[in-house]
């Protein structure tokens, strides 16, 4: 018996350290390199699986939202199998496996490393924003030179900054001790997101911030319009023009999105239940002459909900939406009492999800691997707290 137990015990510290450094790696690399982030996820998840299998600890593994994720993945499999071109849809199906980030983080983040992980994330975001400032200063801010920072495209850069920004704002609003470092992160990331000229990220920040302020002190919502007005007034001309375009119903990019949505709706009507598979717009657009040109040119439909309805049908969309509904219900059910130092993590995670979903009305950020991996990582934080702090009672 000892001969079986001792080898396992000998390697457990190695596995634990690998998991710990992988979690820190995700926090450090999420704003810099998708390859390094994915390597950390794969290494960390494999070490966790080996550890749990070796110690026969599957019975203690946490799987919140598990049925919703399973329902969604099943709908995705059905959509690919009946798409008529399985190989074309497989890359999209593999991307759905990024949900492993959520379950791995839920089970591996502990009270000893959670604060360190979030500090590393804040630090890496501050470094990434600094590089964004360098780009803005050296190349200027315009439609032709939008700040993409440490990412390959400005939309992804703005998306990840938005998530971290809302976590930093939550810490300032709900943590008992004011954190100058969180203030520096908040100010830097806010300015950098303006420089990306990415309106869906602006919308996400605004909606997430409104949620946080509403929870913290409803009266403070009266100050939001003034804060927004001052921020716009102090912004460069390119930012002002981009802001004004958000309320211009004749804006060119809004017109393009509306045409894409109309084309997507036609595809949905022909494939309502299970969709036509990932990237099916590439082969289906010719069936819709009225929308063919715009669908062929842009392919992505610039809306999470329409895109998913096209790709995996109403069944898949309902499963996907159930993930978020249950997530918010669990946040509400598990939230700590006033005065608890972990409240900022709960509400920051919820605000990040609100920002992500709000931006997703105008962009398919769910298919953006860098953004969704970080979103899953932050979604896991409240569940990790609840698991490790049984004194927190649902309210």
Residues of the chain with pLDDT under 50: 1-6, 388-395
pLDDT of residue 332: 92
Q: Which residues are CB-neighbours of 35 under 8 A, at least 6 positions away? A: none
pTM of the model: 0.93
Tell me the residue length of the chain. 395
* Strand ranges (E), 22-179: none
pLDDT of residue 156: 96
Tokens for 16? 């634990």
Closest CA to 159 of 324, 306, 321, 374: 374
Cα 287 off chain centre by:
33
pLDDT score, position 391: 42
Q: Give how far Cα 341 sits from Cα of 114, 170, 171, 235, 389, Å.
A: 13, 12, 9, 35, 12
pLDDT recorded at residue 232? 85
Per domain, the residue ranges of the chain are: 1-61, 65-251+293-388
285-301 pLDDT, tens digit per residue, is: 989 999 999 999 987 89
């Amino acid at each position: 018996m000892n001969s079986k137990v001792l080898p396992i015990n000998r390697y457990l510290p190695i596995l634990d350290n690998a998991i710990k450094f992988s979690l820190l790696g995700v926090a450090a690399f999420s704003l810099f390199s998708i390859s390094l982030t994915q390597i950390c996820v794969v290494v960390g998840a494999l070490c966790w699986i080996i550890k749990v299998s070796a110690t026969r600890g599957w019975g203690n593994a946490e799987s919140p939202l598990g049925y919703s994720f399973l329902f969604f993945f099943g709908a995705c499999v059905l959509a690919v199998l009946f798409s008529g071109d399985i190989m074309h849809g497989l890359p999209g199906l593999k991307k759905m496996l990024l949900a492993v980030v959520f379950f791995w983080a839920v089970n591996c983040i502990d009270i000893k490393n959670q604060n360190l992980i979030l500090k590393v994330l804040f630090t890496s975001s501050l470094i990434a924003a600094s590089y964004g400032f360098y780009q803005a200063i050296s190349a200027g801010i315009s439609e032709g030179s939008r700040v993409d920072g440490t990412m390959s495209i400005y939309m992804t850069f703005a998306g990840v900054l938005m998530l971290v920004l809302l976590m930093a704002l939550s810490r300032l609003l709900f943590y008992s001790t004011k954190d100058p470092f969180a203030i520096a992160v908040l100010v830097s990331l806010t300015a950098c997101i303006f420089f990306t000229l990415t309106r869906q990220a602006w919308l996400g920040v605004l909606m997430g911030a409104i949620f946080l302020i509403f929870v913290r002190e409803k009266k403070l919502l009266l100050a939001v319009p003034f804060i927004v007005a001052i921020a716009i007034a102090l912004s460069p001309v390119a930012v002002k023009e981009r802001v004004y375009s958000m309320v211009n119903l004749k804006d060119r990019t809004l017109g393009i999105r509306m045409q894409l949505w109309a084309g997507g709706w036609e595809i949905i009507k022909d494939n309502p239940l299970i969709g036509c598979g990932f990237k099916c717009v590439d082969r289906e657009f010719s069936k819709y002459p009225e929308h063919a040109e715009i669908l062929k040119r842009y392919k992505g439909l610039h809306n999470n909900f329409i895109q998913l309805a096209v790709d995996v049908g109403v069944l898949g969309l309902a499963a996907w939406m159930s993930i978020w509904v249950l997530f918010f219900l669990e946040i509400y059910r598990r939230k700590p009492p006033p005065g608890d130092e972990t409240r900022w993590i709960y509400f920051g995670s919820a605000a990040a999800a609100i920002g992500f979903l709000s931006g997703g009305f105008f962009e398919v950020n769910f298919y953006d691997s860098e953004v969704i991996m970080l979103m899953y990582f932050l979604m896991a934080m409240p569940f990790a707290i609840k698991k490790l702090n049984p004194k927190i009672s649902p309210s």
